[in-house]
Homo-oligomer: A and B are copies of this chain.
Amino acid sequence: MASRRALVVFSGGQDSTTCLYLAKEEHEFVSALTFAYAQRHAREIESAKKIASLANVEHEIVDLGPLFKGLSSLVDPSAPLPGASETTNHGAVQQLPSTFVPGRNMLFLSLAASRAYARDCSTLYIGVSQEDFAGYPDCREGFIKSMQQSIGAALDREITIQAPLMHLSKKQTVELAQRLPGCLDALAYSTTCYNGSHPPCNTCNACLLRARGFEQAGVIDPLLRSARQLC
């Protein structure tokens, strides 16, 4: 049986929004946790606020400051972002893409676990996927399973990490969102673009993956239906 209380690592993007609405289906109490880390796509913080409000869940934003400065193009506005061809996940990639922020999901899960401990939540949700993503090691199942063990050992308490998108393609993630009441409407306010552009840039890898997923699912991305105001 699912536990009663869950905490969602919530960026305000497509995947974590889908996780948030799934967590709401599966738990009585849901809390969302968003991290500000001077990311270039800081618009997602505003997305997170708006969607948490729509979803009517408790929401905390933790400001980590420029904690990863110098470690990734994702936190350096002057660095070029890789295009889709540089970040495929089909065995051809020799190096990690420049958007890899080393240790980011490990840090997020560590902090989420300490919040979960304090709020008596026994389940964490995180929207990582090893199917569709850019070869980031901290999006893989092996890492998530290991981290669940580390969290249990660190806190002397069992906390389950749910990564429901782990084996879903972006098409399947869109189909899941369709089945969750309110989720597609919320996705109209989400931010996926690595550049934080609105309308999305449609050239960065994150934009291209999202667009392909909606296209393959035969669904019009609600983000594109109309210009949405976040504030």
A residues within 8 Å of B by Cβ? Answer: 62-65, 67-68, 70-71, 96, 101-107, 110-111, 113-114, 117-118, 137-138, 140, 142-143, 146-147, 149-151, 153-156
Contact = CB atoms under 8 A, between A and B. Distances in A.
Contact of A68 (B67, B71, B114, B153): B114
A14 B101 CA distance: 32
Contacts of A64: 64, 67
Secondary structure at chain A's binding surface: helix, strand, loop or mixed? Answer: helix
A128 to B, nearest CB: 11
A149 B146 contact: yes
Among the interface residues A65, A104, A118, A147, which one has the most CB atoms of the partner chain B within 10 A? A147
Given A110-B106, A137-B153, A65 B63 contact: yes
B62 A150 contact: no
Given A64-B64, A68-B114, A146-B149, A103 B137 contact: no
Nearest to A152: B146
Contact of A118 (B71, B140, B142, B151): B71
A174 to B, nearest CB: 27
